[in-house]
Structure 1
Amino acid sequence: MSSLAALYRYPLKSARGQSLPQSAVDGLGLVGDRRWMLVDAQRGRFLSQRADPRLGQLGTQIDADGGLHLSADGYPDLYVPVPVAGELRGVTLWNDSFRVPDAGEAAAGWVSDFMGKPVRLVYVPADRARTVSSGYGEGGDKVAFADGFPLLLIGQGSLDDLSARVGRTLEMARFRPNLVVQGSAAFAEDGWKRIRIGGLDFRVLKPCARCILTTLDPQTGERSPDREPLATLKRYREQDGHAMFGQNLVCDGTGVLEVGMPITVLE
C-alpha cells in the first residue's frame, strides 16, 4: 500500500524548506507554507531561485503564530512577526497582481542586505490569498504564494526512475514537494484524480511543469553544468512543451497529515 513518506513546508517562497513529521492542513495547503515572499522593492515583482539562487541559502522556520525566523551564514538571526496592521504593498506573482501586508523596515533591511539589492518581505493572510490557476479546480480553491497551487505531490518511485535515467542520485529537495509518496510505481500519481491520506481527501488538478530551478544544487545553489535533471525530464516527460514532474493538488477540508499515513486512490 502507498503511504506518506515525507512532508515539506516552505515558509518563505523559494527559500529553504522544513521536513516535518506532521502538519496541519488548511484552505491554503500545509499551514505556514509559502505565506511569506520577497519582492523587488521598486516594482513589487516576486523573487525566486530561478533568477536569485541565493534565496536557497536562506534558512526559515515558522512559529505557531505564523511568525518567520530567518537565518543565514554570517548574519544574526531575525524574527519577523505576522504583520497585524500597517502598509499594504502591491505585489506581482506571475500574472497575479494584488496587495498584501509589508513586514516593515527592519525586515526589509535584513533581507536587502542578504540579497544584495533592495527588496521587501511581505505576508499573505488567508483573506488576501489568490485563486488557483485559471481553468483548474473549483471556485473556492485558494493558494498563498506558491506558483499556482497549494500542494505538490511527488512519488519516490518517480524520483528513483529519474535518478536512474540521469545516472546519479537526485535529491527530492530539488523539486520542492509538499507531499512525498512511497510504495507506488514510478509516475503512478499521473493517473490519480482523487486520493485520501489519513482522513483528508485531495483532488489532483494537473501535472507540475518544471523549470531551471531543478538544476540548482539545494545545498550550494550551484547550477548543474549538464542542465540535469531538466534535460532528461524534457526527453521523456515533455507535455505541451513543458517537462512534467509531480502533481498539483488541493485539499477538500482541514485536518492533520502525518508521515506514515496510508494513501488510498479514490479515483
Structure 2
Amino acid sequence: MRLSALYRYPLKSAQAQALGQSPCGLLGLLGDRRWMLVEQDNGRFLTQRAYPQMSQLSALYDADGGLVLSAPGFDPLQVAVPQADANLRGATIWRDTLRVPDAGDAAADWLSRFIGKPVRLVHVPEPRTRYLPAGYGENSDRVAFADGFPLLLIGQASLDDLVQRVGRPLEMLRFRPNLVVEGSAAYAEDGWKRIRIGQQTFRVLSPCTRCILTTLDPQTGERSPDREPLTTLKTYRQKEGDVLFGQNLVADGEGVLEVGMAVEVLE
C-alpha cells in the first residue's frame, strides 16, 4: 500500500490544493482549514452545502503564510494573516463556538460580493483551535476548522467500488480527503485502528459521515439531479441513519508526508 494523493483545503469548503509533500502534525496537514467564512451577523460558518459557488473559490497560501483569494470574474486579493489576539470575532462551527481573529474589511468586502451576502473571513491560530468531539481521541488532540477531525483518509479501491456501483465516473474530491491510499482492498480502512505512513503513525478514530456535499461536482458546483453518489451509498454504507465513507484520523507527533510513501497497518 502507498500514499497516492495528498490534499489540503486552506479555506474551509473552498477548492482543494493537491500537494506532493506536506508537514503533518497535531492539526493535520500544515495549513489545512485554518481559514473559514462566517456570516457577518451571527458568526455561523459557511460551506458548499448552502453556497455551492464556493466550489469556484480558490484560496492559496502566499510566501508569507497569508491567502491569495481568486474566483472567476474577480481580481485576486491578498489577505495577510491577522494578529492572533486582535479583532476577535465569535465563530460557530457545528456545536463549537470560539473567538478567532477577523481578517479585515477588504477580505470581507471581496468575499461578500462573491457569496452575495455579508460575510467575514476568520483565521484560527493554533492556541485557539478546538478539541475533538467528545468521546474521541486524547485530551491533547485538536482540530482547526475541519468539521470534527484533523485528517480524512479514503482508500482508492473504495472509490473505485462506489464508481462501479453508481455506473459513472466520480471525482475523489467530492469526498474532500486529505490522504488517499492505493493498494488496499475496498473499505479495508474501516477495520484499521493504527497505521504508519513513512515514519509517522496515525490513530484511526471514526468513520466519516457523509452529506449532500458529496452530490456537488467539485469542478462546477452543480448538484447531481439524482443525488448521486449519496443515493447509492445509502443502499450499502448506512449505519444508524449515517452514511459512512472514509475514516477520520489524528497524527501522533510531527512528520512529513510525501506521495508514494509506504502505508502499513499496525493494528
TM-score (norm 2): 0.98
Q: Note if 1:55 corresponds to 2:71.
A: no
Provide the C-alpha distance between the structure 2 equivalents of 1:63 and 1:202, rounded to a whole number of angstroms.
Answer: 29
> Structure 1 vs Structure 2: percent identity of aligned residues?
69
Q: Partner of 2:266 in structure 1? A: 266
Q: Note if 1:142 corresponds to 2:135.
A: no
Q: Note if 1:105 corresponds to 2:105.
A: yes
Q: Note if 1:46 corresponds to 2:34.
A: no
Provide the C-alpha distance between the structure 2 equivalents of 1:20 and 1:37, rounded to a whole number of angstroms.
Answer: 20
1:64 shift after superposition: 4.6
Q: Partner of 2:133 in structure 1? A: 133
Provide the C-alpha distance between the structure 1 equivalents of 2:132 and 2:106, rounded to a whole number of angstroms.
Answer: 32
Q: Partner of 1:164 in structure 2? A: 164
Q: Partner of 1:31 in structure 2? A: 30
Letter in 2 for 1:257: L
User: Does the C-alpha gap of structure 1 residues 63 and 253 become closer, same or farther in structure 2, counting only changes over 3 Å?
Assistant: farther
1:31 shift after superposition: 0.4
1:133 shift after superposition: 1.1
Provide the C-alpha distance between the structure 2 equivalents of 1:253 and 1:66, rounded to a whole number of angstroms.
Answer: 22
Provide the C-alpha distance between the structure 2 equivalents of 1:215 and 1:81, rounded to a whole number of angstroms.
Answer: 33
Letter in 2 for 1:241: G
Provide the C-alpha distance between the structure 1 equivalents of 2:65 and 2:190, rounded to a whole number of angstroms.
Answer: 33
Q: Note if 1:248 corresponds to 2:248.
A: yes
Q: Partner of 2:236 in structure 1? A: 236
Provide the C-alpha distance between the structure 1 equivalents of 2:262 and 2:203, rounded to a whole number of angstroms.
Answer: 16
Q: Partner of 1:89 in structure 2? A: 89
1:111 shift after superposition: 0.4
1:124 shift after superposition: 0.2
Provide the C-alpha distance between the structure 2 equivalents of 1:81 and 1:179, rounded to a whole number of angstroms.
Answer: 28
SS at match of 1:117: coil
SS at match of 2:196: strand
User: Does the C-alpha gap of structure 1 residues 65 and 199 become closer, same or farther in structure 2, counting only changes over 3 Å?
Assistant: farther
Provide the C-alpha distance between the structure 2 equivalents of 1:64 and 1:195, rounded to a whole number of angstroms.
Answer: 32
Provide the C-alpha distance between the structure 1 equivalents of 2:35 and 2:63, rounded to a whole number of angstroms.
Answer: 15
Q: Partner of 1:118 in structure 2? A: 118
Provide the C-alpha distance between the structure 2 equivalents of 1:260 and 1:125, rounded to a whole number of angstroms.
Answer: 30
Root-mean-square deviation (CA, aligned residues, Å) is: 0.8
Aligned pairs, number: 266
Letter in 2 for 1:265: V
User: Does the C-alpha gap of structure 1 residues 141 and 233 become closer, same or farther in structure 2, counting only changes over 3 Å?
Assistant: same
Provide the C-alpha distance between the structure 2 equivalents of 1:200 and 1:83, rounded to a whole number of angstroms.
Answer: 31
1:27 shift after superposition: 1.3
**Structure 1: unaligned runs, 5 residues or longer:** none
Q: Partner of 1:22 in structure 2? A: 21
Q: Partner of 2:79 in structure 1? A: 80
Provide the C-alpha distance between the structure 1 equivalents of 2:25 and 2:196, rounded to a whole number of angstroms.
Answer: 15
Provide the C-alpha distance between the structure 2 equivalents of 1:236 and 1:62, rounded to a whole number of angstroms.
Answer: 39
Provide the C-alpha distance between the structure 1 equivalents of 2:244 and 2:62, rounded to a whole number of angstroms.
Answer: 33
| C-alpha distance after superposition, 1:67-104 (max 9, x if no partner) | 11111011010111110252100010000001000000
Misfit runs of 4+, over 2 Å: 63-66
Provide the C-alpha distance between the structure 2 equivalents of 1:197 and 1:72, rounded to a whole number of angstroms.
Answer: 35
User: Does the C-alpha gap of structure 1 residues 64 and 256 become closer, same or farther in structure 2, counting only changes over 3 Å?
Assistant: farther
**Structure 2: unaligned runs, 5 residues or longer:** none
Provide the C-alpha distance between the structure 1 equivalents of 2:180 and 2:189, rounded to a whole number of angstroms.
Answer: 11
Provide the C-alpha distance between the structure 1 equivalents of 2:66 and 2:22, rounded to a whole number of angstroms.
Answer: 16
SS at match of 1:232: helix
